Structure 1
């Protein structure tokens, strides 16, 4: 297993093969669409840029493989320019193998953390079958998804025993709008992001770890200062997510909350200046 992992993970790579020579002011009428896909008790975000570039972050659990393929058809996704597996938990990477099997993928990022689960092994096999090499997701990476949409990776900032804290945290900026997508990053990772001096401010926050008490500390939330928060969580989940303490914290900070369990897939569209939010229900 360790040998297999070392075949695919290449530390410190950047996305030099994608076009984009720096973000520019948004062009009137052009939109960035960010879909927070309803995958039940799991997570998946699909981004489509104004020029049609695509990025998929996570893909729900193993039982959501067909659901993910259906989403790709629904949104007319014929290829993925960037795939990010935030960390090895099944509820984040379980559906990625089938997506990679069925669509061309230009680049894939995952943090330098291993797992001996069948889910992780299946993902690595799909990556190998496509002839891809995993690029290491880590703080400090930066690239243009297209000439108007910029991506910064803000975590992981080191190595952690808890794989949740190894989550790739992605900030996406389009014009004057931004999204902070946090995977399952917990308080330890949040503390290190704060200490790093990175610009954490974002209009939209994907609430860490499905609204668990382990994440979304007050200090972190005050630094991000989101207008909107999305919680990717399933109906009647056995974890009690999202936790009332987290919901109360968001409410006290004046953050408008959207949830997959209550509203289905959540689509946030940016024209570079303002955001428009549509829910499935």
Structure 2
């Protein structure tokens, strides 16, 4: 079923690989190294070549009890005639909403499954009636998890994602939601541009293919409005960063959405020097991975980059008039 949906939406060019043994149903319950594979601990997924027999694990969506853990921040509406970028507080995960000065809406990722309703709450607060562009940076659960809920709640004109897949129920939910919306997925890769008024928005990654390393497949978007620029990196790590640098694309940005929640496997010194941001935002929540790491926080400090964190500042909003950028923190 998953394979059929993937082929309808786009043909993948990467073989899937997963840790551990399959069970009698041809699947596996994640116990160790779950984040690497885009899973939550205890999440069930099928392996390549596994049977299609339905498993008997817990449902892919969390219970209402776990959903109650997250609460939406109270946000200020987008400034008219300006670019507003909301780095949404969704706990341990990524979700960014962009309202262009021309009024177009862009959503990059949707946090975990339980964040879907929170993201919809944010969008309603901000007066969103439809979404011009949705971007799934990669199949990890803490990025793609909430997007199916958004797709069920809003008309979405275009959906972009890199040409890589995963066999989790979370990713399957996203694919089904895209199909039910009557859309096909447009490939996000280097040099693909979004056709939006008043901004220049171009993917600068993935530059190459990265096998089963989902983080390196992350779609990275560079957006320019007037003299101001932003770089949204998903979970891109050192390999992808090096390939971006080697591709001679424009990476310079005033604001950097720090890769992989501040993990030390992203944001190399060289990459940070090439991007040269004045500001950085780390999308992160309570976690057991050590995000953000001291190494990255110290690196940003040494480069005199003003840094905001959603775990400390809640939703962080950057507003640009095309010349200067101001920041609004919830706390």
| Same-fold call, TM cutoff 0.5 | yes
Instruction: Give 1:144 deviation, angstroms.
Output: 3.3
Q: Does 1:177 align with 2:228?
A: yes
Q: Does 1:257 align with 2:307?
A: yes
Q: Does 1:220 align with 2:266?
A: no
Instruction: Give 1:51 deviation, angstroms.
Output: 1.6
**2: distance between equivalents of 1:144 and 1:3?**
30
**2: distance between equivalents of 1:269 and 1:142?**
22
Any idea what the Cα deviations from partners look like across 1:136-193, whole Å, max 9, x if unmatched? 10001113322x1110100001110311000000011000000000000000000000
**For this pair of structures, how many residues does the alignment match?**
262
The residue number in structure 1 matching 2:218 is 167
State how 1:152-163 maps to structure 2 within 5 Å: 152-161=202-211, 162-163=213-214
Q: Which one of the candidate residues 83, 87, 94 is aligned to 2:145?
A: 94
The residue number in structure 2 matching 1:143 is 194
The residue number in structure 2 matching 1:231 is 282
**2: distance between equivalents of 1:143 and 1:77?**
19
Larger radius of gyration: 2
**2: distance between equivalents of 1:102 and 1:152?**
27
State how 1:1-281 maps to structure 2 within 5 Å: 1-9=2-10, 30-146=81-197, 148-161=198-211, 162-235=213-286, 237-281=287-331
Any idea what the Cα deviations from partners look like across 1:101-153, whole Å, max 9, x if unmatched? 1100100000000100000000111111110010010001113322x111010
2:134 match: secondary structure: strand
Instruction: Give 1:2 deviation, angstroms.
Output: 2.2
Question: Which gives a bigger RCO, structure 1 or 2 (Cα 8 Å, sep 6+)?
Answer: 1
**2: distance between equivalents of 1:191 and 1:3?**
34
Instruction: Give 1:10 deviation, angstroms.
Output: 6.9
* TM-score relative to the length of structure 1: 0.91
Pick closer, same or farther for the CA change 1:69–1:143 going to 2, 3 Å. closer
**2: distance between equivalents of 1:40 and 1:169?**
21
Point out 4+ residue stretches in structure 1 off by more than 3 angstroms. none
1:60 match: secondary structure: coil
**Unmatched runs of 5 consecutive residues or more in structure 1:** 12-28
**2: distance between equivalents of 1:127 and 1:257?**
34
1:81 match: secondary structure: strand
The residue number in structure 2 matching 1:26 is none
**2: distance between equivalents of 1:192 and 1:74?**
38
**1: distance between equivalents of 2:195 and 2:323?**
18
Say what the alpha-carbon RMSD is for the aligned residues.
1.1
